[in-house]
């Protein structure tokens, strides 16, 4: 018999319609971010990798935002009311029936709130499920701290007999240290025939997916399982303390990957690097650094203590000290900070230097620009090798509109210059200390005073004839 392609055979269903009340949040539980992505995204990654296809996500009206958040990568099905995980699975089967294509033979059912699960483990679950021709298979965890999790009850032969939810469990059952992780494989035809037989819990009124285990046994079908140690990987997130733990664990996993790929971290426990960030070998991260979103950093660059980069590309051999960089681009061998701020739309050319309290917004600084102290460049184009003196301000906003400033190459903007936009400073032009420049300065001219008047610059000492 030739094996069927993964896609036709197995379909992943991700349960994400619950209210997540213990999060005490307006945001649906599975949309809380960890390391920069909603936690359900990690589950969808694992589901895609294990099945080779598009997962089906179950949402419900109180958490409608879940549907919109996953729509680009998953099919979705609506659970009218979150009446329990068994009812959520029923919504999933109804959703699958309405999709085009052949029905799957197997279902991989995952909880949207178990984000650290990895595809390898799901592969192992599916392998165990197939090997035992089970109606249902699950992953269990042995833990000294079973808390509110479902307990795995085994019979005298050691076979799984049923799962009892903590809320419904007897005192003896609560002592059981083998718990249900909330990750399952099902024979799709069997579950389709039996799901309607689930009854609400007498204690909570919820319909439990976990009751399918006892139904499988009643039908004489094997229940498959794999057991994993309690390393936190399968911890569900039900409240913010668990969210913090998962964030910590995932951050450690991300940082380990970068460390092994040649990134130096002075203190990996305080390097906050989103899952999506790309770091080349020989990047150094000092303590307390936060790198977010689509940030990329080139080799040889040092990101100094206290810096935060959001959606920013930094080239090679740069030094970024205690600075904030947002949605910007930095070329190679640039020095920034301490205490500089690149606001969105800034592009800093090779070899430029931005010093203490330099702020740049929506501007291009060509290579070799120096902007060492306390200044603001906004909506501007600055030519190569130009010097921006301390206290220079582009007055780019007249109260109604933003206006542009253009400064040519090799210009020298004196300390405390006010550039009233729109204004153009020509290549090689200079401004005097405290100049308020409200009209264009042609190439090579000097502008001084308030408002600035034009002069021919005095020759530099080195330009004077000898003697
Ligand atoms: C569930 C299991 C428990 C297991 C634990 C592991 C049941 C009855 N219990 O408990 O045995 O130890 O996971 O983490 O399944 N959901 C829906 N619709 C609903 C209710 C829930 O889609 O009506 C979704 C939730 O959004 C969540 C997942 O199902 O992603 C699990 O629900 P949750 O309420 O967290 O179940 P637990 O109490 O953690
Ligand atoms: Mg849970």
CATH of the domain at 77: 3.90.550.10
Residue 234 covered by a domain: no
pLDDT of residue 8: 57
Annotated catalytic residue, options 239, 266, 341, 373? 373
Q: Is the pLDDT of residue 7 over 50?
A: no
pLDDT score, position 6? 47
Q: What is the CATH number of the domain that holds 336?
A: 2.160.10.10
Instruction: Identify which of 351, 148, 333, 134 has the alpha carbon closest to the alpha carbon of residue 241.
Output: 148
Please classify residue 317 by burial: count the beta carbons closer than 10 Å to its beta carbon, then call 0-12 exposed, 13-18 middle and 19+ buried.
middle
In a domain, 2, yes or no: no
Containing structural domain, residue 281: 258-456
**372 tagged catalytic:** no
Distance 166 CA to ligand 2 centre (A): 12
pLDDT (tens digit per residue) in 160-179: 999 999 999 999 999 999 99
Q: Please indicate, yes or no, whether residues 224 and 172 belong to a single structural domain of this protein.
A: yes
Residue 235 forms part of a structural domain: no
Distance 306 CA to ligand 2 centre (A): 35
> What is the structure's pLDDT at 464?
62
Tens digit of pLDDT for each residue in 228-279? 999 999 999 999 999 999 999 999 999 999 999 999 999 999 999 999 999 9
State the alpha helices, DSSP H only, in 176-270: 188-194, 212-218, 240-260
Q: How confident is the model at residue 326 (pLDDT cuts 50, 70, 90)?
A: very high
Ligand 1 atom 3 nearest Cα: 150
- 129 SS3 class: helix
Substitution candidate for ligand 1 out of 66, 153, 182 with most atoms within 8 A of CB: 182
The pLDDT score that the predictor gives to residue 100 is 87
Tell me 207's DSSP state: P
pLDDT of residue 461: 67
Which of 76-90, 293-307, 309-323, 451-465 shows the lowest per-residue confidence on average (mean pLDDT)? 451-465
Q: Residue 457 has what pLDDT?
A: 86
> Which ligand has the nearest atom to the CA of 180?
1
Specify the pLDDT at position 28: 97
pLDDT confidence band for 443 (50 / 70 / 90): very high
96 and 141 in a single domain? The answer is yes
Residue 201 lies in a domain: yes
- Report the alpha-carbon distance of residue 430 to residue 446 in Å, rounded: 5
Q: Looking at residue 235, what is its pLDDT?
A: 93
How many domains would you assign to the chain? 2
Phi, psi of 254 (to 5 degrees): -65, -45
Q: Are residues 263 and 222 in the same domain?
A: no
With a Cβ cut-off of 6 Å, ligand 1 is lined by 15-18, 30, 58, 79, 82-85, 87-88, 111-114, 149-150, 163, 165, 179-182, 208-210, 236, 238
Chain position carrying tokens 């039908």:
219
Do 174 and 284 reside in the same domain of the chain?
A: no
* pLDDT(425) > 50: yes
88/102 Cα distance (integer angstroms):
21
C-alpha to C-alpha distance for 200 and 442, rounded to whole angstroms:
82
Residue 334 has pLDDT above 90, yes or no: yes
The two tokens of residue 375 are 């200044």
349 and 413: one domain? yes
69 domain residue, yes or no: yes
Rounded Cα–Cα distance for residues 277 and 296 (Å): 6
Judge whether 243 lies within some domain: no
Considering the entire predicted model, what is its pTM?
0.91
pLDDT by residue (tens digit) across 143-163?
Answer: 999 999 999 999 999 999 999
Q: Do residues 324 and 206 share a domain?
A: no
Does residue 370 belong to any structural domain of this protein?
Answer: yes
Ligand at minimal distance from the CA of 210 is 1
Residue 149 burial class via C-beta count within 10 angstroms: exposed 0-12, middle 13-18, buried 19 and up: buried
Atom of ligand 1 nearest to the CA of 18: 26
Same domain, 24 and 107: yes
Q: Which residue's alpha carbon is at the smallest distance from atom 38 of ligand 1?
A: 149
- Band (38; pLDDT cuts 50, 70, 90): very high
Do 268 and 181 belong together in one domain? no
Whether 215 and 343 map to the same domain: the answer is: no
Band of pLDDT at residue 463, cut at 50, 70 and 90? low
Ligand 1 atom nearest residue 235's Cα = 14
| Structural contact between residues 125 and 185, judged by C-beta atoms closer than 8 angstroms | yes
340 alpha carbon – ligand 1 mean position (Å) = 46
347 — pLDDT class (breaks 50, 70, 90): very high
Span 21-40, mean pLDDT?
97
**Would you say residue 359 has pLDDT above 90?**
yes
Mean pLDDT of the chain: 95
pLDDT of 2 over the 90 cut: no
pLDDT range class, residue 4, cuts 50, 70, 90: very low
In whole angstroms, give the CA distance from residue 461 to residue 58. 76
Ligand at minimal distance from the CA of 168 is: 1
- Say if residue 191 is in the same domain as residue 331: no
Exposure letters 156-178 (e unless 16+ CB within 10 A, then b): eeeebbbbbbeebbeeebeebeb
Q: How confident is the model at residue 1 (pLDDT cuts 50, 70, 90)?
A: very low
Q: What mean pLDDT comes out for the span 3-16?
A: 76
């Amino acid at each position: 018999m030739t094996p069927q392609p993964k896609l036709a055979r197995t379909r992943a269903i991700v349960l994400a319609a619950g209210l997540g009340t213990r999060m005490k949040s307006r945001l649906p539980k599975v949309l809380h971010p960890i390391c920069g992505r909603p936690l359900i995204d990690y589950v969808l990654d694992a589901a895609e990798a294990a099945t080779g296809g598009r997962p089906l996500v179950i949402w419900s009206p109180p958490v409608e935002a879940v549907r919109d958040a996953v729509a680009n990568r998953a099919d979705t099905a609506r659970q009218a009311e979150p009446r329990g995980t068994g009812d959520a699975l029923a919504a999933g089967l109804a959703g699958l029936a309405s999709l085009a294509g052949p029905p799957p033979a197997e279902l991989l059912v995952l909880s949207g709130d178990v984000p650290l699960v990895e595809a390898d483990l799901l592969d192992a679950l599916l392998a165990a499920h197939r090997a035992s021709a089970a109606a249902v298979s699950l992953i269990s965890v042995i833990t000294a701290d079973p808390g509110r999790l479902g307990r795995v009850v085994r019979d005298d032969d050691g076979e799984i007999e049923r799962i009892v939810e903590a809320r419904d469990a007897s005192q003896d059952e609560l002592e059981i240290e083998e718990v249900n992780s909330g990750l399952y494989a099902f024979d799709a035809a069997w579950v389709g025939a039996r799901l309607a037989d689930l009854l609400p819990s007498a204690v909570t009124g919820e319909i439990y997916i976990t009751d399918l285990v006892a139904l499988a046994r009643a039908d004489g079908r094997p229940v498959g399982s794999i057991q994993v140690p309690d390393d936190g990987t399968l911890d569900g997130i039900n409240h913010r303390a668990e969210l913090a733990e998962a964030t910590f664990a995932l951050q450690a996993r991300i940082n380990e990957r970068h460390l092994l790929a040649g990134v130096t971290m002075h203190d990996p426990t305080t390097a906050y690097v989103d899952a999506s960030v790309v770091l080349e070998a020989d990047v150094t991260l000092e303590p307390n650094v936060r790198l977010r979103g689509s940030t990329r950093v080139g080799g040889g660059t040092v990101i100094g203590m206290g810096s935060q980069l959001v959606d920013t590309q930094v080239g090679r051999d740069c030094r970024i000290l205690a600075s904030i960089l947002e949605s910007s681009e930095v070329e190679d061998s640039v020095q920034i900070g301490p205490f500089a701020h690149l606001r969105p739309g800034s592009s800093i050319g090779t070899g430029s230097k931005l010093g203490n309290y330099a702020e740049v917004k929506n501007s291009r600084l060509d290579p070799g620009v120096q902007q060492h102290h306390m200044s603001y460049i906004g909506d501007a184009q600055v030519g190569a090798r130009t010097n921006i003196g301390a206290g220079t301000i582009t007055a780019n906003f007249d109260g109604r509109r933003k206006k542009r400033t253009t400064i040519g190459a090799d210009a020298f903007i004196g300390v405390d210059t006010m550039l009233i936009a729109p204004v153009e400073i020509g290549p090689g032009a200079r401004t005097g200390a405290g100049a308020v420049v409200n009209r264009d300065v042609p190439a090579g001219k000097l502008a001084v005073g308030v408002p600035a008047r034009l002069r021919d610059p005095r020759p530099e000492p080195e330009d004077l004839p000898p003697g």
